[in-house]
Structure 1
Amino acid sequence: MTNEHETDVNQTNSAVEEKEQVAPAASQEEVKPDQEELKTEEVAEAKAEETVEAVAEETVEAKAEETVEAVAEETVEAKAEETVEAKAEAKAPASTEDQDDEEDLEAVEGKSFEELLEEYDQFREYRPGEIVTGTVVNIGEQDVVIDIGARVEGTVPSSEFMDEEGNCKIKEAEKIDVMVLRFNPEAQHIPLSFERARISRVWDQIEEVANTEETLKGSIIEKVKGGFIVDVGVRAFLPTSQATLKPQKDYQDLLGKKYDFSILKIQRRRGNLILSRKDLLQSEYEEKRKDLFDKLKEGAVLDGTVKNVTDYGAFIDLGGLDGLLHISDMSWGRINHPKDLVSVDDVIKVKVLRFDPEKEKVSLGLKQCAPDPWLSVSENYPPGKSVKGKVLNLTSYGAFVELEPGVEGMIHVSEMSWTKKVRNPGQILQKGDDVSVKVLDLDSDKRRVSLSLKQTEDNPWESLAERFPVGSKVKGRVRNITEFGAFVEIEDGIDGLVHVSDFKWGERTADPNEYVKKSEEVEVVILAVDTENKKVSLGMKQLALDPWLEFTKTQREGDYITAAITKVTDFGVFLQLAEHVEGLVRNNELDIPRGAKPGDHYQEGQEIQVIISRISHRERKVDLSVRRLRQDQERRAVQEYTKQNDKGGATMGDVMAEGLRHLINK
């Protein structure tokens, strides 16, 4: 019998020592149809061996228990007989020996069978592999002393009680279960193991679970070749094919998590335990799928988990079936990408929009779980109301502003500034800016709202003429120079134009670069303000006295004037009448033969006398004439001679004849 005990212990010890090698062993035991199928004879022999070993173990244990019980019963019966005899002899005078027997009898009386059995255990032998309960007597650096009620105490290596931080997990006087490793009645101590006792208990529980077809709870702690290592109290192997319902690219998300497992294969003697999740997941999936199909109706609101996010939407796991949440059904507002709204593993509420049971396709909506904001837009944003919003996007023709999630309006470039010519909205606004705008128009059917940025402020052009009256002098900065003039900013956002004809008196096509530089501050005169067309005319020559006005103050039509010729042309000659003032004598007003050219009779620098025939203040032009000068001189000579001869009584004919002679002589 002792040999049989030692065989059982050796087998148990072998299984315990191989606990760190469960993963490789389990990996080798992974189910492979071609390798797993044994020949009929080998299966029969294996079963026969297991049956014999099991019967042997049961027989040994049964015999041991029967022996202990028999010995205990015999001891009790013997003590009982001795007690009866002692009572019978109690009436007789008691000798010293009788008194001792009497004391022994009193010690036995009142004790139960279990107490007598426990006393007997102190003297019995312990077989290797037996699990007993003991009391912690002393905790040393190397060993922990355990009292198991034997003649000598047992010891367990202290390392078996240390946690990861090096702290002892037990205390003195604490009762614990330990396994007897070896037993020698003459030894000074009994080698025990706390860890092997724990593992043995765990295997007992695992076998019970396997027999009842229940599930085990365990944590996936490591990824190995072909699968995972699972901690269920002992190390077990989970094949990759049994880890999930469907193959995955990455299994890292399983590590460190606790799951329920079913037992595929158990070999306690070898320490092999192979688990599976797939069958449990399949059962759970079928159950959820059945419940889901009962709930999947258009309009139903369900909870779902975001399984995957793409450029066009997200796939939602409804618990047995995946549905598509398209990007257009995610929000009443604008989103650039589905990931801006949802992430993988998010749990969200979605509404069933369409369901095809035959194709098992489900279309889902997220925005439909909330009311459509456009239903109340007409009440919240009537034309003329000033509201606040955020700039969502900029285009070449304007900016889109979010008034509330799902409601957007547009500010056209023409409605961005009263004073600036906006060619790009980026000149005024930036994406993400908070702005105040005014509602110009609303079309609920087309879901359009027209907004204005500039109309939240007063129009500066309406009061510009009052702030800058014509003739007033102002200072401004030259913003731009062109061929036809220079633009000067007289107020923030308001520019005026100095035309090329208004830089200097007498120069109708001046070069602006000769008078101003870009960014230079200059003084100008307000010439005109056109509020309707948003134009301001400026002048620089007007800062000095106007030579035209000075000339016209002293000269009138009909006045004689002598001036030098500045230019001879085919159509006439120009005369310098004053500084920056010129006059023109056309060919028909010159004293030259018909068909003759002015250059044949006049040259530049020559001074001639002319009469002012016309002054145009609007065009600032002076027309001169030599021919009319002669005519006027004749008329004046006749008038003068007439006055003189009226006093002498001359006839009209005499006067005229004398006048002609006077002119000829002159």
Structure 2
Amino acid sequence: MEKENASMKDFEKYLDLAGFGPGQVVEATVTGVDPAEGLSVDFGGKQEGRIQPSELVREPSSYKIGEKITAQILKINDEEGYAMLSELRPHRRMAERKVREAKDSGTPVKGYFVQQVSGGYIVKLFNVLDAFLPGSESLLRRDAEIPQGEHDFLIIDYAAGRRGRIVVSRKALVERQIQTFFESHNVGDVVEAKVERVRSSGATLKIGPLTATLPREEVSHDPSVSIHDALKEGETIKVKIVKLDPAQRTIEVSLKALEPDPWQTAAEKYRVGTVVRGVVKNIVPFGVFVNLEPGLDGLIHVSEIFWSSKKVDLKKFFKPGQMVEAEVVEVDPEKRRLALSYKRAQGDPWENVMERYKEGDIVEGTIVKVLPTGLIVEIEDGVTGLVPKSELSWNKVSDPGKLFRERQSLKMKILSIDSQNRRMRLSVKQTTPDPWEKAAESLKEGSVARAIVKAKLNSGYVLQLKDFSVEAFMPSSHAPEEMKEGAEIEVLVLRIIPERRKILVSQKKLEEMKDYEEYKKQMGGSQKTLGDFLKK
């Protein structure tokens, strides 16, 4: 029984082998590769299959042992024990069928450029069919190099037969793709794009056959992000369409539109009156920009930096990268503005001024303004006081500008503090003892003192007594000659009026007294007294 079954299987196998004949399409396995002779294949028959290079779809060397291919039997030589097959012919028929279907359905087909000819290019489809690509449909310049690799083409004309022809187009395919894109996409859609070029002003991207622009300001909500760090040429990224113009065939896309916009939550996150921390980003003449988070900056206006209105170089107080605290003053998400106050975060210096300063304290300050009525002096940021003209010096001051200058440092005594009205009264002269007390004790009528001419008046001269730092007046009639400011002289004290802080002196009387003393020495005495000279 087993022998009968074995005989039946051999007979069926023989019938299968006997069924192979010319024209039949079979599946073959590559058993040998010869670049010059072609392929040896096993197609399931008792003969060895051979396929010459001219009947192959590809170069012989590109095939691998064991690779499966579809081939058509051309003839069988039983005497020699081989069969000739063709891979090209069934493949061509299949390709022609696909071309017909592609023409009817408008489906693109793949192919590669073979060569440039008169009026266009020869393109190979499915590795077996030659097609003509007119130059006007190629999207190539005449002097352009022939593109390498596979490309998509649209069949625009096809005629079957030996003299049939295939005409393809890249232009028609691109036009259709462009039309399809604009018909199927809207502003707000997210698409993939390939980065083509990156420049400081923006980037050029490819979305299929279309060119899109990505402006610099659409890269990130954080303007400090470099476009060259965010994008690399050749990479594929996702972007959101922000502008679409089918008529002009222009597309503008955005990267930052895919990120959360920090301004959408700014009003809730940064409430007015709260103190926030940020990093100094930029310093400009009108204030300081502070970065609170990526894409969200606040401005500390110059008026919100110091409690005083002094003009200062902000770069001396702030540096880029410095961490600062500021109070939120205003938030306007629509205008994308956030106003901050540095001085409010530091606190109002007048709120606890009475804890830091007491009446009678000696303090240091800087003159911020010289007035005809006195000085405005800053003791600390936001705390200023007035030094009245009467408190500038123990001597009479007619023009404060001649004695003091802005930005000059001073020591002063606090006379009074009014924190409610933000006022402080100060004195420069009371930081030193009253020189009139020493002068009243040391000088008497008839005393001789050294003095410096300070000023010439119509009625006489204002002098500064050197050893006492007080002023004296000398009438013009008591000056023997015209004197210049700054001249140092000796004078005789004629009269002292302490309650009026006045001293009357004379240079002329002093000279007369000296002359008399000399005369008395020569004459051997006299009855005149010093009082006699003072009465004249």
TM-score by length of 1: 0.45
Partner of 2:340: 451
Shift of 1:233: 3.2
1:361–1:424 CA distance, 2 compared to 1 (3 A) = farther
Cα distance in structure 2, aligned partners of 1:423 and 1:445: 32
1:139–1:567 CA distance, 2 compared to 1 (3 A) = closer
Decide whether the 8 Å contact of 1:217 with 1:258 is kept in 2.
Answer: no
Q: 2:497 aligns with which of 613, 617, 620?
A: 613
Cα distance in structure 2, aligned partners of 1:494 and 1:237: 89
1:163-562 pair list within 5 angstroms: 169-171=64-66, 176-177=69-70, 197-212=86-101, 213-214=104-105, 218-219=109-110, 225=116, 226=120, 229=123, 232-234=126-128, 238-239=133-134, 241-242=136-137, 259=152, 261-262=154-155, 264-265=157-158, 274-279=167-172, 303=189, 346-348=238-240, 381-388=270-277, 395-399=284-288, 410-418=299-307, 421=310, 423=312, 436-441=325-330, 450-459=339-348, 526-528=411-413, 548=435, 551-552=438-439, 554-555=441-442, 560-562=446-448
Q: 2:481 aligns with which of 590, 596, 599?
A: 599
Shift of 1:460: 5.5
Shift of 1:167: 9.0
Decide whether the 8 Å contact of 1:305 with 1:316 is kept in 2.
Answer: no
Shift of 1:452: 0.6
5+ residue gaps in structure 1?
Answer: 1-102, 481-487, 513-517, 519-523, 631-659
1:231–1:439 CA distance, 2 compared to 1 (3 A) = same
3-state SS, counterpart of residue 481 of structure 2 = helix
Decide whether the 8 Å contact of 2:384 with 2:423 is kept in 1.
Answer: no
Cα distance in structure 2, aligned partners of 1:534 and 1:270: 110
3-state SS, counterpart of residue 127 of structure 2 = coil
Decide whether the 8 Å contact of 2:287 with 2:302 is kept in 1.
Answer: yes
The alignment's C-alpha RMSD in Å is 7.5
Q: 1:581 aligns with which of 469, 492, 499?
A: 469
Shift of 1:453: 1.7
Please list the CA deviations of residues 245-268 of structure 1 after superposition, one character each: whole Å capped at 9, or x if unmatched.
Answer: xx999999x976764643634788
Question: Which range moved further: 235-244 or 317-326?
Answer: 317-326
Cα distance in structure 1, aligned partners of 2:413 and 2:275: 34
Cα distance in structure 2, aligned partners of 1:230 and 1:265: 14
Q: Name the amino acid aligned to 1:303.
A: D
3-state SS, counterpart of residue 209 of structure 1 = helix
Shift of 1:415: 0.9
Cα distance in structure 2, aligned partners of 1:236 and 1:535: 101
1:110–1:445 CA distance, 2 compared to 1 (3 A) = closer
3-state SS, counterpart of residue 438 of structure 1 = strand
Decide whether the 8 Å contact of 2:17 with 2:45 is kept in 1.
Answer: no
Q: Name the amino acid aligned to 1:206.
A: A
The structure with the larger Rg is 1
Cα distance in structure 1, aligned partners of 2:72 and 2:209: 48
Q: Name the amino acid aligned to 2:495.
A: I
1:51-62 pair list within 5 angstroms: none
1:201–1:489 CA distance, 2 compared to 1 (3 A) = farther
Decide whether the 8 Å contact of 2:189 with 2:240 is kept in 1.
Answer: yes
Shift of 1:198: 3.5
- Are residue 118 (structure 1) and residue 118 (structure 2) matched? no
Decide whether the 8 Å contact of 2:463 with 2:474 is kept in 1.
Answer: no
Decide whether the 8 Å contact of 2:178 with 2:210 is kept in 1.
Answer: no
Shift of 1:277: 4.7
1:148–1:411 CA distance, 2 compared to 1 (3 A) = closer
Shift of 1:205: 1.0
Please list the CA deviations of residues 197-243 of structure 1 after superposition, one character each: whole Å capped at 9, or x if unmatched.
Answer: 43333311111123443567655656965468566334755445445
3-state SS, counterpart of residue 435 of structure 2 = helix
Decide whether the 8 Å contact of 2:25 with 2:90 is kept in 1.
Answer: no
3-state SS, counterpart of residue 340 of structure 2 = strand
TM-score by length of 2: 0.53
Cα distance in structure 2, aligned partners of 1:410 and 1:137: 79
Question: Which range moved further: 316-325 or 204-213?
Answer: 316-325
Please list the CA deviations of residues 97-151 of structure 1 after superposition, one character each: whole Å capped at 9, or x if unmatched.
Answer: xxxxxx9xx9799946x84473486xx9x7xx99765555567999865456788
Identity %: 24
Cα distance in structure 2, aligned partners of 1:136 and 1:493: 95
1:583–1:401 CA distance, 2 compared to 1 (3 A) = closer
Cα distance in structure 1, aligned partners of 2:460 and 2:339: 62
Cα distance in structure 2, aligned partners of 1:256 and 1:436: 60
Decide whether the 8 Å contact of 2:464 with 2:471 is kept in 1.
Answer: yes
1:274–1:392 CA distance, 2 compared to 1 (3 A) = farther
Decide whether the 8 Å contact of 1:575 with 1:583 is kept in 2.
Answer: yes
Decide whether the 8 Å contact of 1:288 with 1:320 is kept in 2.
Answer: no
Cα distance in structure 2, aligned partners of 1:447 and 1:120: 83
Q: Name the amino acid aligned to 2:65.
A: I
Please list the CA deviations of residues 8-54 of structure 1 after superposition, one character each: whole Å capped at 9, or x if unmatched.
Answer: xxxxxxxxxxxxxxxxxxxxxxxxxxxxxxxxxxxxxxxxxxxxxxx
Shift of 1:291: 7.0
1:305–1:131 CA distance, 2 compared to 1 (3 A) = closer
Cα distance in structure 1, aligned partners of 2:425 and 2:125: 85
Q: Name the amino acid aligned to 2:496.
A: I
Cα distance in structure 1, aligned partners of 2:10 and 2:63: 41
1:115–1:324 CA distance, 2 compared to 1 (3 A) = same
Q: Name the amino acid aligned to 1:610.
A: L
3-state SS, counterpart of residue 599 of structure 1 = coil
Cα distance in structure 2, aligned partners of 1:575 and 1:348: 85
Shift of 1:413: 0.4
Cα distance in structure 1, aligned partners of 2:313 and 2:450: 56
1:407–1:184 CA distance, 2 compared to 1 (3 A) = closer
Q: Name the amino acid aligned to 1:584.
A: A
Please list the CA deviations of residues 483-542 of structure 1 after superposition, one character each: whole Å capped at 9, or x if unmatched.
Answer: xxxxx999899999xxxx99xx9xx99999xxxxx9xxxxx8732579958999989x97
Q: 2:449 aligns with which of 551, 558, 563?
A: 563
Shift of 1:456: 1.2
Decide whether the 8 Å contact of 2:106 with 2:154 is kept in 1.
Answer: yes
3-state SS, counterpart of residue 273 of structure 2 = coil
Partner of 1:484: none
Please list the CA deviations of residues 361-399 of structure 1 after superposition, one character each: whole Å capped at 9, or x if unmatched.
Answer: 999999999999989876655542223567777653234
1:275–1:312 CA distance, 2 compared to 1 (3 A) = same
Decide whether the 8 Å contact of 1:351 with 1:368 is kept in 2.
Answer: no
Decide whether the 8 Å contact of 1:551 with 1:578 is kept in 2.
Answer: no
Partner of 1:635: none
Decide whether the 8 Å contact of 1:560 with 1:610 is kept in 2.
Answer: yes
5+ residue gaps in structure 2?
Answer: 369-376, 386-390, 511-528
